């Protein structure tokens, strides 16, 4: 103690007495702060209790309104359950209005919203006495349209209705659709008073203590009911009353006096201070354990991130704002063949840039460093390995943002797409082989079609040749007036025409199979039909089918490959006649029609249609009618309609079908006009 007193007083901050007073003053300040905090917390606690109770009351009131509206809908359904007439409906509706004061008016309307009957509440003057009911027709129509879509009750937005006494009220329409035998037969419309809803549908215990109101979302009051304001502090709670077609806000206001303090304040204070002192030691120990755990977690996270980066097959590279490499992962080093030490700190030109592309890459990096963002989907480039080999890469770049939100550089991800390019090349080759196979299948189908279609011109050539030989063997008698040379010339012309036609068919199909551009010409639609009519007529006579043609007046020429379009028409005509080759079908008529296409560009397109009176196309067949190799014929290959549509689409048109009336099918396709 002697040594302590020997110390100079200048080394001490304050005398012991002053130091104690300061400590006591600090303790008093702390106690006062604790007491003030406790008082404030007590007030907040009581206020939160009052607010919570008010919010529960508001939620219960909304639940009461929903339940009451549901019961009202059930009452309206029961009103229509006995299929009433307007005369019997009105007494029952009037009885319901006496039981439900929230209703101002009930209406029975038909499916077109025309009023069949209505009844007004007996407790007040008719709600639409001053304003006609027609002025509110819009709200009724909206509510009923919503109800019809939802197949259930719906409500309109509230609107103001002036009354004859100079006042007015906010009302809302409820519409209930009536369905009979699956069809809409009418509506029941109920007009609600928002004020009476607050009076009748909410429990009295809520309105005795609080003021309840319906408000707009912006706070405008629509209807108000409840006790008058008492107390010096207001508490408010709001709940959404979500109805089909309309949403209302139910607001409940309560008034209270200033909250009371906690009882036994001193006991609570001592207990709180004791708990606070013990909690400080616990918190210190817990904080030390938390720090140690955070350090271990941080070390584990760093180790996990390092292991994850080392196991990635995607190359990662970070650059600073000056373009120098600041980080590379092992995958990137393995990709380019350079070590991390050889790359870190390196700037343009990079050692993995091909020398012939260095200038281009340097310009791209300069643009990137100016702040221009690369595309999010990335871009492709070519890198060079350390051994000089080139390989394609996909580069995805993004700004490198620090924890402070500042850009510190650029982060890049690299994918070696060499294998992807090899797979794409294999896929392209496979696709070409598949296309070649498809063309071979087309050749087979065309060969089967030609075997039948060329039968007619070849048979005609044979017939004309036989007739010519007969004429040569039988010279005309002198003076008979018979000139065999004229008949021979006519027969030779016919042989030449049929041979030319057969040649055109073969050449056109040959061009189609070789995928060469067909020679297109401007052909009159009548000429296309005339070209196929001989073959169509032969089969029509065999199957007893009547063939009709209809052409619209003033049609332009069709720009098409004449021979291929003739084959399309011939194929559709044959299919139509074969569809009518049934014993039970007495009326067999095939109609070939040409007209302008009904579209905004109708003058630029011609529509060809082939109609039959067959048995039609079943739904399961219609779904795959144009699928290659699908057929319903025992001898068919299933490529006829598929090839027809291919020919039409090569001309830029479309091909479809629909059911014919009274029976049969109509196939249609379009061709461009010359």
The answer to whether residues 154 and 84 touch, using CB atoms and an 8 Å cutoff, is no
CATH 3.90.1010.10 assigned to domain 517-672? The reply is: no
The CATH number of 309-416, from 3.30.450.20, 2.60.120.620, 3.30.360.10, 3.90.950.20, is: 3.30.450.20
The pLDDT-based confidence of 232 (bands split at 50, 70, 90) is low
Q: Tens of pLDDT along 353-386?
A: 888 877 888 777 777 777 666 666 677 788 888 8
**Which pLDDT value is given to residue 10?**
44
**Which pLDDT value is given to residue 4?**
42
Nearest to 194 by CA among 155, 229, 230, 228: 155
What is the token pair recorded at 179?
């369905």
CA-angle at 595, arms to 589 and 598, nearest 5°: 115
Interval 658-673 mean pLDDT: 90
CATH 3.30.450.20 assigned to domain 56-254? The reply is: yes
The answer to whether residues 642 and 442 touch, using CB atoms and an 8 Å cutoff, is no
CA-angle at 26, arms to 23 and 30, nearest 5°: 135
**Which pLDDT value is given to residue 550?**
92
List beta partners, residue 256.
Answer: 233
**Which pLDDT value is given to residue 9?**
44
Phi and psi for 506 in degrees, rounded to 5? Answer: -65, -45
Interval 631-652 mean pLDDT: 74
**Which pLDDT value is given to residue 49?**
75
Lookup result for tokens 């498809």: 438
Alpha helices in 370-483 (DSSP H): 418-453, 455-473
The answer to whether residues 249 and 238 touch, using CB atoms and an 8 Å cutoff, is yes
Nearest to 649 by CA among 669, 629, 619: 669
Interval 546-553 mean pLDDT: 91
- How many Cβ atoms from other residues are within 10 Å of residue 255's Cβ? 17
Q: Tens of pLDDT along 120-149?
A: 988 888 888 888 888 888 888 899 999 898
One-character DSSP codes across 309-371: HHH-SSEEEEEETTS-EEEE-HHHHHHHS--HHHHTT--SSPTTS-GGGHHHHHHHHHHHHTT
Buried b / exposed e along 299-327 (16+ C-beta atoms within 10 A): eeeeeeeeeeeeeeeebbbbbbeebebbb
Q: Exposed, middle or buried: residue 192 (CB in 10 Å: 0-12, 13-18, 19+)? A: buried
pTM: 0.38
Q: Which helix (H) or strand (E) holds 106?
A: strand 103-110
One-character DSSP codes across 540-606: HHHHT-EEEEEE-TTPPPEEE-HHHHHHHHHHHHHHHHHHT--TT----EEEEEEEE-SSTTGGGEE
The answer to whether residues 234 and 252 touch, using CB atoms and an 8 Å cutoff, is no
CA 133 to chain centroid, in Å, comes to: 41
| CA distance linking residue 408 with residue 429, whole number of Å | 46
The answer to whether residues 388 and 354 touch, using CB atoms and an 8 Å cutoff, is no
Taking the alpha carbons of 297, 302, 303, 309 in that order, is the dihedral positive or negative? positive
C-alpha distance from residue 114 to each of 107, 109, 121, 506, 663 (Å): 10, 5, 21, 70, 41
Residue 390 has pLDDT above 50, yes or no: yes
**Which pLDDT value is given to residue 281?**
62
The pLDDT-based confidence of 234 (bands split at 50, 70, 90) is confident
Tell which wins on pLDDT, 535 or 250: 250
Q: Tens of pLDDT along 412-445?
A: 888 777 888 888 788 777 765 755 565 565 556 5
Least confident range from 399-408, 450-459, 585-594: namely 450-459
What is the token pair recorded at 659?
């059911």
Q: Tens of pLDDT along 163-216?
A: 887 788 899 999 999 888 778 888 999 999 988 888 888 877 777 778 888 888
Interval 481-487 mean pLDDT: 67
**Which pLDDT value is given to residue 452?**
55
Cis amide bond preceding 662, omega within 30: yes
> Three-class SS of residue 54?
helix
One-character DSSP codes across 68-103: HHHHHHHHHHHHTTT---HHHHHHHHHHHHHH-TTE
Nearest to 472 by CA among 451, 488, 496, 452: 488
Residue 494 has pLDDT above 60, yes or no: yes
**Which pLDDT value is given to residue 39?**
58
The answer to whether residues 648 and 668 touch, using CB atoms and an 8 Å cutoff, is no
The answer to whether residues 630 and 618 touch, using CB atoms and an 8 Å cutoff, is no
Q: Tens of pLDDT along 213-229?
A: 888 877 788 888 877 66
Nearest to 549 by CA among 608, 598, 605, 602: 608
**Which pLDDT value is given to residue 338?**
86
> Three-class SS of residue 170?
strand
**Which pLDDT value is given to residue 672?**
92
The answer to whether residues 530 and 565 touch, using CB atoms and an 8 Å cutoff, is no
**Which pLDDT value is given to residue 263?**
45
Tell me what the pLDDT averaged over the chain comes to.
78
- How many Cβ atoms from other residues are within 10 Å of residue 78's Cβ? 11
Q: Tens of pLDDT along 281-312?
A: 677 767 777 888 888 888 888 888 777 777 77
Residue 460 has pLDDT above 60, yes or no: yes
């Amino acid at each position: 103690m002697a040594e302590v007193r020997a110390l100079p007083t200048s080394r001490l901050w304050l005398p012991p007495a002053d130091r104690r007073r300061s400590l006591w003053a600090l303790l008093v300040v702390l106690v006062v702060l604790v007491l003030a905090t406790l008082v404030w917390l007590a007030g907040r606690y009581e206020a939160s209790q009052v607010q919570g109770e008010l919010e529960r009351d508001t939620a219960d009131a909304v639940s009461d309104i929903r339940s009451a509206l549901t019961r009202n809908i059930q009452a309206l359904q029961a009103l229509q359950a006995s299929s009433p007439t307007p005369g019997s409906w009105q007494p029952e509706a009037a009885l319901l209005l006496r039981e439900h004061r929230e209703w101002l008016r009930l209406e029975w309307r038909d499916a077109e919203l025309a009023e069949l009957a209505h009844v007004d509440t007996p407790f007040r003057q008719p709600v639409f006495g001053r304003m006609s009911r027609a002025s509110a027709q819009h709200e009724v129509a909206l509510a009923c349209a919503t109800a019809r879509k939802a197949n259930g009750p719906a409500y309109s937005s509230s609107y103001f209705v002036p009354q004859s006494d100079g006042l007015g009220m906010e009302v809302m329409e409820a519409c209930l659709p009536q369905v009979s035998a699956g069809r809409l037969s009418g509506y029941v419309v109920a007009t609600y008073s928002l004020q009476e809803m607050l009076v009748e549908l909410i429990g009295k215990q809520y309105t005795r203590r609080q003021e309840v109101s319906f408000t707009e979302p912006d706070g405008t009051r629509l209807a108000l009911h409840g006790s008058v304001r008492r107390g010096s502090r207001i508490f408010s709670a709001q709940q959404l009353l979500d109805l089909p077609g309309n949403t209302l806000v139910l607001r409940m206001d309560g008034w209270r006096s200033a909250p009371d303090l906690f009882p036994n304040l001193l006991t609570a204070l001592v207990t709180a201070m004791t708990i606070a002192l013990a909690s400080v030691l616990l918190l210190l120990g817990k904080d030390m354990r938390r720090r140690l755990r955070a350090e271990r977690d941080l070390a584990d996270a760093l180790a996990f991130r390092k292991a994850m980066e080392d196991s990635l097959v995607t190359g990662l590279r970070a650059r600073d704002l000056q373009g120098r490499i600041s980080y590379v992962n092992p995958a990137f080093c393995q990709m380019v063949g350079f070590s991390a030490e050889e790359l870190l700190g390196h700037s343009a030109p990079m050692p993995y840039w091909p020398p012939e592309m260095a200038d281009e890459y340097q310009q791209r990096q300069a643009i990137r460093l100016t702040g221009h963002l690369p595309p999010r989907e990335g871009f492709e480039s070519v890198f060079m390995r350390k051994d000089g080999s080139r390989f394609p890469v996909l580069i995805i770049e993004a700004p490198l943002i620090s924890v402070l939100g500042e850009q510190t550089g650029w982060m890049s991800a690299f994918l070696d797409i060499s294998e992807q390019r090899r797979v794409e090349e294999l896929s392209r080759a496979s696709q070409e082989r598949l296309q070649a196979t498809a063309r071979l299948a087309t050749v087979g189908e065309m060969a089967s079609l030609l075997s039948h279609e060329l039968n007619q011109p070849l048979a005609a050539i044979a017939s004309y040749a036989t007739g010519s030989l007969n004429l040569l063997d039988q010279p005309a008698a002198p003076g008979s007036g018979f000139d065999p040379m004229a008949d021979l010339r006519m027969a030779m012309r016919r042989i030449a025409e049929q041979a030319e036609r057969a040649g055109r068919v073969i050449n056109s199909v040959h061009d189609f199979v070789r995928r060469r551009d067909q020679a297109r010409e401007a052909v009159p639609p009548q000429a296309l039909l005339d070209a196929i009519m001989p073959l169509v007529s032969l089969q029509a006579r065999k199957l007893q089918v009547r063939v009709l043609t209809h052409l619209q007046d003033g049609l332009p020429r069709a720009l098409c490959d004449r021979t291929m379009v003739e084959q399309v028409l011939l194929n559709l005509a044959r299919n139509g006649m074969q569809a009518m080759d049934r014993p039970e079908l007495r009326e067999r008529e095939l109609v070939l029609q040409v007209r302008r296409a009904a579209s905004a560009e109708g003058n630029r397109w011609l529509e060809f249609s082939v109609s039959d009176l067959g048995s039609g196309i079943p739904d399961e067949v219609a779904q795959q009618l144009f699928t290659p190799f699908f057929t319903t014929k025992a001898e068919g290959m299933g490529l006829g309609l598929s090839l027809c549509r291919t020919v039409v689409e090569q001309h830029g048109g479309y091909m479809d079908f629909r059911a014919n009336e009274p029976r049969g099918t109509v196939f249609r396709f379009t061709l461009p006009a010359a």
